[in-house]
Amino acid sequence: MPTASAPGKFILFGEHAVVYGKPAIALAIDLRTEVKAERSSSFKLDGKPMRENRSFYIREIIRRWKGGPVSMEIKAGVPPSSGLGSSAALTVSMLGALRSFNYPAERESIAREAFDVEYTVQGGASPTDTSTSTLGGAVYISEKKESNFRWEMCKNRRFWNVHSIDIPDMSFVVGVTGAHSSTKDMVDRVRRVVSRSPFGKDVIEDIGRIVVEGKRALENGDLVRIGELMKENHELLSLLGVSCEDIERLIRPIKDMVYGAKLTGAGGGGSVIALTDKPEKVREILEDRGECAYIVNIDKDGLIIK
């Protein structure tokens, strides 16, 4: 019975600007989704007929699968609709489990198919989430090939170069707002700002600069500088109009106790990430205010298959 698990992730630097060709950095976190698979007389998921499942990601994976009926069990450890890569963790772990039936699962191949699944389901995506879930650790996405290059992805004449970054151990607190927004709506909002004013273009350039500086700070293990850049990145995203009161409500009570805090992902809701050496205290502050919060560390393993 193959068992595979893969981590969630968050964007540390570069959301929205990556749409305009700027780099981005994502970190895998130790919230994991696990999938067990075994041969069966019919397709089942958690003991029920597969056809009853409404996940477009699962349906797309099974549509591609040519290895006969299987029964699968899923333990989802990544909160859904929170900007923490729940769909990527599910897709990568499920592909890892299924592929293990026939031959040793190879990470790059799984990352490629996982990206293709997300691209198909979402009608467009970047390989950031699925590559980070597959590789673990820190992933740097850019248009240029740099040191620690892992693989290149291409869709519709757009290219992404995926790199790994050596980083220190770090603890973050993730606060989940519980508010949801459409990624497409947030991307469209930023596009209007960028297309209508030089100011918007300057903000995108500044975010791109922060990503490059953030990569250097990560490699140097400079937590103070990482925190400063997180704050700056958040301020720029706020100028683009993708922060909201649900996000700011989580940042205000902890801002003096952390190296830095920012929204992660598209904005308009989702999650806030905070880099801190007092994770228990920061989580306690958020939970005392009725917020949902997790302490997370960097997952350096990525996809694991047993």
In angstroms, the CA 11 to CA 83 distance is 8
Going by C-beta distance under 8 Å and a sequence separation of 6 or more, which residues neighbour residue 151? Answer: 108, 111, 112, 131, 162
In angstroms, the CA 281 to CA 287 distance is 10
Active site residues: 129
CB 32 within 8 A of CB 7: yes
Q: Would you list the DSSP string of the chain?
A: --EEEEEEEEEEE-TTGGGGT--EEEEEEEEEEEEEEEE-SS-EETTEEGGG---HHHHHHHHH--S--EEEEEE--S-TTSSS-HHHHHHHHHHHHHHTTTS---HHHHHHHHHHHHHHHHTS--SHHHHHHHH-SEEEEESS--TTEEEEEEETTEEEEEEEE-----EEEEEE------HHHHHHHHHHHHHH-HHHHHHHHHHHHHHHHHHHHHHHT-HHHHHHHHHHHHHHHHHTT---HHHHHHHGGGTTSSSEEEEESS-SSSEEEEE-S-HHHHHHHHHHTT-EEEEEEB--S-SEE-
